[in-house]
Amino acid sequence: MTEVSSLTGRLLVATPALADPNFDRAVVLLLDHDEEGSLGVVLNRPTPVGVDDILEGWASLTGEPGVVFQGGPVSLDSALGVGVVPGDDHTGPKPGVRDPIGWRRVHGAIGLVDLETPPELLAAALGSLRIFAGYAGWGPGQLEDELTEGAWYVVESEPGDVSSPVPESLWRAVLRRQRSELAMVATYPDDPSLN
């Protein structure tokens, strides 16, 4: 595995110094990362739009909050589904067990959901589902440049990150669980000038 492809399935956690308002305190799940660029979704940007308002039949499979999330600033008129298949682990499917129809593994138990698939075909298999409008994208080498500049922390994802019931606290929660100095970054004030 090349270093470039090794970031698929991991989280990008915005550093407090990241100035782009699109990614202030963002937690991005990388769905694809290779020599052609990177694509991910911001896990902690709920919108006020209900899932049923744009995708009939999928709302019953999404957790709380049952809203569409803003996955990033690119292609806001497109929808992506990210789902977790419970009982799976990070090594892939068990021998002889096939992935559910309409779900494509990204990393471990996390995968992309084909929203053209009838929801009832996936209902029994999915443990959680989030719908994202838009995505975050980087061209070849662009994310690597941002990593070199210190804009992001790269950490392991957990299946529960996809369906956090309190997405607004995900940035702090992901940092807090790290076994390094990153855990201290979780205490960084929202507005350091008030400190």
Q: What is the pLDDT of residue 92?
A: 53
- Amino acid 96: pLDDT: 57
How many beta carbons lie within 10 A of that of residue 24, not counting itself? 13
pLDDT of residue 1: 32
Closest CA to 171 of 192, 181, 156, 185: 185
pLDDT under 50 in the chain at which residues? 1-5, 90, 195
Listed in order, strand segments (DSSP E) in the chain are 11-14, 27-34, 37-42, 46-50, 67-70, 74-84, 103-107, 110-113, 128-138, 152-155
| Model pLDDT, residue 18 | 86
8 A C-beta contact, residue 173 and residue 43: no
Q: Residue 49: what pLDDT? A: 96
Structure tokens at 98: 């096939």
At residue 190, the pLDDT reads 64
pLDDT of residue 187: 81
* 100, 35, 178, 109: CA torsion to nearest 10: 10
Structure tokens at 56: 């009939």
